[in-house]
């Protein structure tokens, strides 16, 4: 694995040399643009607007438009000179309880590996964070951009989770969300029973990108000259509010049939709840009809 960044993680007077590695990888298919007429690939050429000639990669640089049509070249060295400490240091500003952080703020995870000579300090920081049950809130510059970040221990390692700044979170005030609604006990009991019947311990290995595999299968068939067929079945449609209780009852029966419940078949009490929910749904429909 190749490090994408090297520097140090610091808080107060403590400084630990570390290397940063990406903790995720993209699992997506890459498609090319083709000329439909002859299925030839369509390439993109880099042209100089002034000279109207193609420009090779080695002659391309990066610049900032400070006035309309006026640019100044900005190199990697220029960016590092903006603040050497910021570009080489994960600077922890404070420690907080992770539960206080809204999940909306978290972005991408990275692994932090100690460089030679930093193993002891790394282990001390990791274990202290684990015992305190806190995470460090830091700033770090990655790919020419400053990020807010959370430094937290996971097992034998320390991880860095980049975060969004508050101004990057879109205000949801203009969206229409339902206020606290009046729920009957029967409705809530049935909803909780359904949740219980589908509950299990989280195991990420159980889940995989099925769509990715299905698209690969379509590609394989087309390469072999076989026309892919649409799978049987139809897309699900949104549940109508008036049928909610009926849908909950049907969903509960389906999960019980599939053996998803670890509590065994529904008890008499649960069946009574389901029956009562059905009556409530019929009553609601008759009232609406009137």
- At residue 282, the pLDDT reads 46
* In the block, residue with structure tokens 């990020």: 147
Contact 16, 9 (CB under 8 A): yes
Domain contains 187: yes
Domain contains 20: yes
CATH code of the domain in which 147 resides: 2.40.290.10
Host domain of residue 283: 180-197+236-290
Please state, in angstroms and rounded to a whole number, the distance separating the CA atoms of residues 19 and 28: 27
Shared-domain flag, residues 272 and 184:
yes
Domain contains 133: yes
Report how many domains make up the chain: 2
- At residue 97, the pLDDT reads 95
Shared-domain flag, residues 131 and 273:
no
- At residue 167, the pLDDT reads 93
Residues of the chain predicted below pLDDT 50: 239-240, 260-263, 268-269, 273, 277-278, 280-290
Shared-domain flag, residues 13 and 127:
yes
Burial of residue 48 (CB within 10 Å: 0-12, 13-18, 19+) is exposed
- At residue 239, the pLDDT reads 47
Contact 66, 125 (CB under 8 A): no
* 28-83 pLDDT per residue, tens: 788 888 999 998 998 888 889 888 899 998 999 989 898 898 899 888 778 767 66
pTM: 0.67
Shared-domain flag, residues 10 and 92:
yes
CA distances from 28 to 41, 67, 220, 223 (A): 20, 39, 16, 19
- At residue 78, the pLDDT reads 80
Shared-domain flag, residues 188 and 265:
yes
């Amino acid at each position: 694995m190749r490090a994408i960044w090297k520097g140090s993680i610091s808080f107060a007077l403590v400084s630990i040399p570390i290397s940063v590695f990406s903790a995720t990888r993209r699992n997506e298919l890459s498609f090319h643009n083709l000329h439909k007429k002859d299925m030839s690939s369509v390439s993109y050429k880099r042209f100089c607007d002034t000279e109207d000639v193609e420009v090779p990669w080695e002659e391309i640089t990066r610049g900032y438009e400070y006035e309309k049509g006026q640019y100044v070249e900005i190199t990697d060295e220029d960016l590092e000179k903006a603040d050497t400490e910021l570009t080489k240091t994960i600077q922890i500003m404070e420690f907080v309880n992770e539960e206080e952080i809204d999940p909306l703020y978290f972005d991408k995870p990275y692994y932090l590996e100690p460089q030679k000579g930093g193993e002891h300090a790394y282990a001390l920081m990791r274990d202290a964070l684990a015992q305190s049950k806190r995470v460090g809130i830091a700033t770090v510059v990655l790919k020419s951009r400053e990020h807010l970040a959370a430094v937290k221990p996971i097992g034998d390692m320390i991880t860095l989770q980049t975060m969004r700044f508050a101004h990057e979170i879109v205000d949801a005030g203009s969206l229409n969300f339902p206020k606290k609604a009046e729920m009957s006990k029967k409705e809530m009991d049935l909803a909780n029973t359904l949740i219980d019947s589908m509950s299990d311990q989280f195991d990420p290995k159980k889940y995989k990108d099925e769509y990715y595999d299905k698209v690969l299968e379509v590609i394989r068939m087309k390469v072999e000259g076989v026309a892919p067929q649409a799978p049987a079945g139809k897309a699900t449609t949104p549940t109508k509010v008036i049928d909610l209780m009926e849908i909950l009852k049907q969903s509960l029966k389906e999960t019980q049939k599939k053996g998803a419940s670890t509590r065994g078949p529904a008890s008499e009490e649960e069946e009574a709840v389901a029956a009562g929910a059905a009556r409530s749904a019929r009553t609601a429909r008759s009232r609406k009809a009137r």
